Structure 1
Amino acid sequence: MTDLQDPRLLRRLLRAKDRMDAASNEEWTVERLASISDVSPAHFSRSFKQAFGLPPHRYLLTRRIERAVALLRETELPITDIAFQTGWASLGTFGRIFRDITGTSPGDMREQSRGLAPELGRMPHCVLQAAQRPDLRTAVSEKRRREAADTNESPKPSKQEQPK
């Protein structure tokens, strides 16, 4: 029996995941999550990724960004307050990671969501949340490296332009 077929381990992983969901603004180290799950930090990280498809840190980022998007859409709170309420220690880090993940700044996201408010109001909240969930199967740092590589690549000549 593999580890993830063990229902006890899955229950313990779900317990840690539920704690992150309930308080995504808190600091969640792998050690803290592993202690909730009663496994070693290395085993927790491997098992969590295997069970949920994302490493614990990326999962936490998705929850924080989802919450920030909802607050931008539904409240008039200043962006600084939203950053701190969703667990970011720095407004700069929040803005940079928010832009890396969503492709837009928090201010632009707020403006876009206000324009879509009438249409979004008719959609069930759970559907809206799932549709706006960030895709973090690729690390943010890896996305940055790829974008930098794409902008630094010189255009390749077409077949017609290549010397014969």
Structure 2
Amino acid sequence: MSLPPRSPSPALLLRLLRARDRMDAASEEAWPVQRLAALCGLTEAYFARAFKAAFGLPPHRYLLSRRIERACALLRDTEMNVTEIALQTGWESLGTFGRTFRDITGSHPAAVREQLRRETPVQALAGMPLCHLMAAHRPDLLSAVSEKRRQAAAATNEASDTDSDKELT
């Protein structure tokens, strides 16, 4: 098959929306590309390219954003502990959840809980449509988590190189 067009056809977009809706409805489940592609009746590579062309994110990053978005809502609205939230949002490891959450949001789950509760008391959100609320708290995943880690490490290395240069002069 050839590369998907820039603007997916209505039939292809309908298939992709079906896969995205399934991920939205059950983001805590495992959604490997093979499963999503089979759901759409496409090859894995074609599905991955078409999904990114249609929605601006690869399927895995889209799923991560939904899981983190759901975790933020649970942190804000419930008294569940972080381990329960990690398991309920589809993470198998608390360590992986914490590291990914910090990489995406910039803070640890407990700090985000405090920040969200200070900024948005639950009473103020009572009349707001859920779709708007979720969109406002959707994490930005335009770059891969591993890419963000490399950029942070490079910035740290540059800072230490600058400090050692100052010591030499």
1:25 corresponds to 2:32: no
Give the alignment partner of residue 155 of structure 1, picking from 154, 162, 167.
162
Q: Cα offset for 1:90? A: 0.2
Q: Which residue of 2 aligns with 1:129?
A: 134
- Same amino acid, percent of matched pairs: 61
Partner Cα separation in structure 2 for residue 4 and residue 140 of structure 1: 27
1:143 corresponds to 2:148: yes
Please give the per-residue CA displacement for 1:94-147, whole angstroms capped at 9, x wherever unaligned.
000000000010111111122223387247243332222111010000000000
| Distance of aligned partners of 1:3 and 1:108 in 2 relative to their CA distance in 1, 3 Å threshold | closer
Q: Which residue of 2 aligns with 1:95?
A: 98
Please give the per-residue CA displacement for 1:39-73, whole angstroms capped at 9, x wherever unaligned.
00000000000000000000000000000000000
Equivalence map 1:2-151=2 (5 Å): 2=5, 4-118=7-121, 121-122=124-125, 124=128, 125-151=130-156
Between 4-13 and 66-75, report the one with greater CA deviation: 4-13
CA root-mean-square deviation = 2.0
TM-score, with length taken from structure 1: 0.89
- The total of aligned residue pairs comes to 157
The unaligned stretches of length 5 or more in structure 2 are: 164-169
TM-score, with length taken from structure 2: 0.86
Between 86-95 and 118-127, report the one with greater CA deviation: 118-127
